[in-house]
Amino acid sequence: QVQLTESGGGSVQSGGSLRLSCTASGYSSNSYSSFCMGWFRQTPGKEREGVAAIDRDGTAKYAESVEGRFTISQENAKDTLYLQMNSLQPEDTAMYYCAADSGCTAWTLLNMGPGNSGYWGQGTQVTVSS
């Protein structure tokens, strides 16, 4: 059973930075690198939205609202996904979730989310104050 564990959330002032991490466990040997990974966020009363995603070839896709401010990366040796968030704004306040799926591209994961065979983490809260 694959498990995704996020960390790195917190409270910052507008213009600040945070780096989120997502550690994956439970993958079969050498299978982690075959998965697409991504970050999503959700605020109360709104649907979960894709923030950034990266596929096994290293292709990254971003939501327009974070393009140029957020950077997604992965370290396969540590089975870890990162999201570097710079120039944070109050509208970035949300619960951030890590997701993984197979048989996808960065674009499909970002825009459609993980399928029935995909996985979600429990989330980490990011709060940006003005």
Q: What pLDDT score was predicted for residue 29?
A: 60
Distance CA 119, CA 73 (A): 18
pLDDT band at 26 (very low <50, low <70, confident <90, very high): confident
Mean pLDDT to the nearest integer, 35-61: 95
User: What is the mean predicted confidence (pLDDT) over 104-116?
Assistant: 93
pLDDT at 33: 67
Query: Does pLDDT of 12 surpass 90?
Result: yes
Distance between CA atoms of residues 20 and 27, nearest Å: 21
Measure CA of the first residue to CA of the last residue in the chain; give whole Å.
40
pLDDT at 31: 66
Question: What's residue 79's pLDDT?
Answer: 87
Q: Lowest-pLDDT range, 10-19, 27-36, 106-115?
A: 27-36
